[in-house]
């Protein structure tokens, strides 16, 4: 049962990440932006960081408490690929997070909405993150079938 629960938690965390990143990307449009959207983007950003931590923690739980054991996972280069992709995505998330925080500050102080070019830039980064994250399950599928060991 432990393996099933760990897999469920990991997949749920991963799907949560996809949902919240998709929501952020959808809201980063000039024609949709208003004060409520800026606040929603900030909330989604916090949730996205929590989802990122949940993906990492649930994945590490599978490594240490899963049926295959830590030695099997750590010896598999596909795990290292998955972790590297997650780190790259987390680093890419820093820029949008900082911009969204600045947008909230500007909105609070002057009522200014984000400029169109910044919205487009944040959306582009979120889309890049999402596409990189989409590679992680591919590596997971190959790992589950014994590749890499």
What percent of the chain has pLDDT above 70? 100
pLDDT category of residue 12 using cuts at 50, 70 and 90: very high
Residue 95 has pLDDT above 90, yes or no: yes
Domain count for the chain, please give it.
1
Q: What is the mean pLDDT of the chain?
A: 95
Within a domain: residue 45?
A: yes
Within a domain: residue 44?
A: yes
Within a domain: residue 149?
A: no
What are 47-89's pLDDT values in tens digits?
Answer: 999 999 999 999 999 999 988 889 989 999 999 999 999 999 9
Cα gap 100→16, rounded to integer Å: 20
Cα gap 66→142, rounded to integer Å: 17
Cα gap 140→66, rounded to integer Å: 14
Question: 43 and 16 in contact (C-beta within 8 Å)?
Answer: no
Residue 149 has pLDDT above 80, yes or no: no
- Domain interval for residue 14: 2-144
Question: 18 and 130 in contact (C-beta within 8 Å)?
Answer: yes
> What's the pLDDT at 65?
94
Question: What is the per-residue DSSP string for the chain?
Answer: -HHHHHHHHHHHHHHHHHHHHHHHHHH--GGG-SHHHHHHHHHHHHHHHHHHHHHHHHHHHHHHHSTT-HHHHHT-HHHHHHHHHHHHHHHHHHHHHHHHHHHHHHHHHH-PPPPHHHHHHHHHHHHHHHHHHTHHHHHHHHHHTTTT-
Within a domain: residue 36?
A: yes
> What's the pLDDT at 147?
87
Within a domain: residue 14?
A: yes
Within a domain: residue 29?
A: yes
What are 114-135's pLDDT values in tens digits?
Answer: 999 999 999 999 999 999 999 9
Within a domain: residue 93?
A: yes
Cα gap 127→98, rounded to integer Å: 17
């Amino acid at each position: 049962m432990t393996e099933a629960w760990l897999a469920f938690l990991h997949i749920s965390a991963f799907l949560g990440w996809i949902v919240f990143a998709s929501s952020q990307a959808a809201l980063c449009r000039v024609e949709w932006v208003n004060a409520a959207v800026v606040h929603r983007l900030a909330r989604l950003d916090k949730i996205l960081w929590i989802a990122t931590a949940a993906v990492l923690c649930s994945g590490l739980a599978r490594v240490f408490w899963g049926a295959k054991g830590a030695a099997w996972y750590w010896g598999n280069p596909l795990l290292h690929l998955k972790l590297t992709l997650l780190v790259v995505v987390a680093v890419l998330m820093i820029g949008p997070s900082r911009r969204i925080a600045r947008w909230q500050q500007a909105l609070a102080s002057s009522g200014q909405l984000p400029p169109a070019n910044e919205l487009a830039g944040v959306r582009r980064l979120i889309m890049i993150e999402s596409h990189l994250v989409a590679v992680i399950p591919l590596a997971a599928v190959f790992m589950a079938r014994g590749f890499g060991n």
